[in-house]
Amino acid sequence: EQGYAVTEAQYGAMARLSKLWENYPEMRALFWRDGGPAKPGTVLTNPEIGKLLRDVADNGPDAFYSGATAKAIIGAVGMATNNPSMITQADLTAYSAVARPPVCVTYRSYRLCGMGPPSSGATTVFQILGMLERFDMGALGKDNPVSWHLIGEAMQLSYADREKYLGDADFVSVPVKGLLDHDYVASRSQLISMDKSLGSYIPGTPPGAAPRTNAVSSEVAGTTHFTAVDGAGNIANMTSTVEGLFGSQLIARGMVLNNELTDFTFAPEKDGEPVSNRVEPGKRPLSSMSPTIVYDASGKPILALGSAGGKRIIMHVTKALIGVIDFGLPLEQAFALPNIYFGGNGLLVEAETPLADMSGELSRLGHLVVASNLPSKLNGAERTDKGWVGAVDPRTKGKAATQLP
């Protein structure tokens, strides 16, 4: 209602979509000024979403899934200029947010909890950490190419399991306990050598796993994350997404509608076996959202963090956790550590960083190393001797708000 100033990042995103928005007058009405994307510093208001939020606050979920909001969603999708589709009141009535138990593990002397299926975040992050636990990552340190070699090996083994087994547990059997089983993770870790890359990374067979096939999903980076801690110690640690810049480009009551269908794997089966993340009515798609809270040995929360970045979210969060827990860095310095990922049979390292400078050593360990642009948008908060302190990824222009007592 009061508005906010357009940032350079938002302006860049809107500028990239200028041609597309020629077919979306509602987006232009909301985000354009003087015939083009609103320039940085322009104050934009969105009174309609203010009304929507007040409506939900006053009247609860029914104000979202029925009444004016439901009609707006149905109309926006059904009367879209491009690819109009049908959502019915029955669809919205049948939908409900489901409270799901967290996935928790122990790493070193800490307890870590994260988000379970249909997010692949916690299982994949925690598998990577579990595979690394037998190595003295602290002694190796952040400036040692062997550290990043080990992270890269555990990453690719864990992602192989992710692609095969993860999906919506309401529709497929997801072996969460098996994927995090101590003996299973230890057996996967034994595949990792300190002086030679494995070269081929295939899924394992965790306890309790039903027959599945390996099929890569097409997750698009369009995610956001925030961490908030209040004076009483309550923590909100939330990752969400509309899938791609401005989602579907459709608006209902000031709200940008998502484009989450692209998070599904579009092949229903492969090699005669069902794909865990295939499209099915009422199913929630697989994501990589990885909001994580860390507790010390006494059970006190000491760290909360998450990131944007599509499938790379998992690795952004993982390297930050390693940075704090193993390398002993303050959270903001852990966020600043180089990003690492994989693709095209190569190990992707963030260009113009100390990690890129290690390319020669990583190549001698058997990796095909490719320096790449790997942006991230981590943020979080950590408990220090001075109280809770916020931290943000130096790759972004965000700022932590306030230090709490």
pLDDT tens digits, residue range 286-327?
999 999 999 999 999 999 999 999 899 999 999 999 999 999
Residue positions annotated with a catalytic role: 223
> pLDDT tier at 119 (50, 70, 90 boundaries)?
very high
Whole-number pLDDT of residue 404: 54
Whole-number pLDDT of residue 295: 98
Of the candidates 235, 238, 240, the residue with the CA atom closest to the CA atom of residue 222: 240
> pLDDT tier at 217 (50, 70, 90 boundaries)?
low
Whole-number pLDDT of residue 221: 62
Whole-number pLDDT of residue 258: 92
Q: What is the mean pLDDT of residues 92-119?
A: 94
Q: What is the pTM assigned to this prediction?
A: 0.93
> pLDDT tier at 402 (50, 70, 90 boundaries)?
confident
Segment 184-200, tens digit of pLDDT: 999 999 999 999 999 99
Say which residue, 345 or 121, is predicted with more confidence.
Answer: 121
Q: What is the mean pLDDT of residues 199-214?
A: 88
Whole-number pLDDT of residue 244: 83
Asked whether the predicted pLDDT for residue 329 surpasses 60, the reply is yes
Q: What is the mean pLDDT of residues 346-366?
A: 97
> pLDDT tier at 154 (50, 70, 90 boundaries)?
very high
Apex 377 CA angle, 100 and 41, nearest 5: 120
Q: What is the mean pLDDT of residues 350-363?
A: 97
Q: What is the mean pLDDT of residues 89-110?
A: 94
Quote the CA–CA distance of 80 and 131 in Å, as a whole number: 47
Whole-number pLDDT of residue 274: 80
Lowest mean pLDDT among 26-35, 132-141, 207-216: 207-216
Q: What is the mean pLDDT of residues 87-106?
A: 94
> pLDDT tier at 401 (50, 70, 90 boundaries)?
confident
Whole-number pLDDT of residue 216: 62
Asked whether the predicted pLDDT for residue 359 surpasses 60, the reply is yes
Express as a percent the part of the chain with pLDDT over 70: 97
Whole-number pLDDT of residue 74: 97
Phi, psi of 383 (to 5 degrees): -85, 125
Whole-number pLDDT of residue 135: 98
Phi, psi of 80 (to 5 degrees): -60, 140
> pLDDT tier at 399 (50, 70, 90 boundaries)?
confident
> pLDDT tier at 403 (50, 70, 90 boundaries)?
low
Of the candidates 277, 154, 302, the residue with the CA atom closest to the CA atom of residue 215: 277
Output the average pLDDT for the chain. 93
> pLDDT tier at 218 (50, 70, 90 boundaries)?
low
Whole-number pLDDT of residue 220: 61
